[in-house]
Amino acid sequence: MGGDVTVALVGAAPGAARRRATVQVLRVVSWAAPAVCAALAVSSGGGARWAFGSGAVVATAVACAYRRFFADFARASSLPTDGSLEVTADHLVVRHAGVLATDIAIPWAVVRAVCIDDHEVPRRFVLPSATDGPTAGRPVALFGPGQRRRGGVPLLAAASVVPNVLVLVEPPVEVPWRYPFAVGPFDPPWGPRWPARPWPVPALTPAFLVALADPSALTASAAAHAPVREISAADGRYLAEGGLLD
């Protein structure tokens, strides 16, 4: 193989800047509304005072319920959304300052497989039905319509993206998560965090998902070091044994 090859990760989805601006406006409005209602209640009388007072209570409850969401979204807006995979002679290097505290250098000797799925379908990485084991008789897609993820395979992205590369490693490698991490666009305050992050601190994982701008470039360069293929039923069993499937 020739020199090192670097492939860019997909950054923010189209319209992300507009969504960030909208949430910033909502963040200001959520705390201004209770203050305005309270001021109107004080200066009004009769039924109007009761109505504005009730509005102030409801607006305060909503603002408190979503305070974590707005604070985390503001913090997420400042995180880098771009990164890269670099193929070197000895390692597969993952760089993403938005979700990783440090770069990950994975020796090719522990890369079980690189699976690529960039078909124009609503589901990605569909595991074939297995005849035995945890996935027996039930096809499983690691990523489905509406950007739903199955199980706990972490997606290394700081924005809502559709993954097209799954890297399987054996034995597992540590993912040095950046901390604190933020919820993603329009996740409810009690909803799941973005991306799939099954651990609150750095932890070992036997697999992770990424979204590449040009997955074919990774195919050509990684094939010299590790198997590049479609996901298999055996991979499903491996993920299940690692606790990454429901």
Q: What is the DSSP letter of 90?
A: S
The angle formed by the CA atoms of residues 28, 29 and 33, to the nearest 5 degrees, is: 130
Q: What is the pTM of this model?
A: 0.71
Q: How many angstroms from the chain centroid is the CA of residue 177? A: 12
Q: Which residues pair with 175 in a beta bridge?
A: 203
Tell which residue, 113, 119, 52, 99, has the closest CA to residue 236: 113
Distance CA 238, CA 53 (A): 58
Q: How many angstroms from the chain centroid is the CA of residue 152? A: 11
Distance CA 234, CA 240 (A): 10
Distance CA 223, CA 26 (A): 48
Q: Is the pLDDT reported for residue 18 higher than 50?
A: yes
Highest mean pLDDT among 169-183, 187-201, 211-225: 211-225
What does the pLDDT look like over 55-97, one tens digit per residue? 889 888 888 877 777 776 666 666 777 899 999 999 999 999 8
C-alpha atoms less than 13 angstroms from C-alpha of 212 in its C-beta half-sphere: 24
Highest mean pLDDT among 186-190, 213-217, 225-229, 230-234: 225-229
Residue 194 burial (10 A CB sphere; 0-12, 13-18, 19+): buried
Tell which residue, 133, 125, 145, has the closest CA to residue 229: 125
Highest mean pLDDT among 11-20, 29-38, 114-123, 219-228: 219-228
Tell which residue, 203, 209, 181, 183, has the closest CA to residue 194: 183
- Is 193:183 a contact under the CB 8 Å cutoff? yes
CA distance to 30, 51, 117, per residue, from 155 (Å)? 31, 46, 14
What Rg do the C-alpha atoms of the chain give, in angstroms? 22
CB count within 10 Å of CB 2 equals 6
pLDDT number for residue 192: 44
Residue 17 burial (10 A CB sphere; 0-12, 13-18, 19+): exposed
What does the pLDDT look like over 97-142, one tens digit per residue? 888 888 999 999 999 999 999 887 778 888 876 545 554 555 678 8
Mean predicted lDDT score pLDDT of the chain: 78
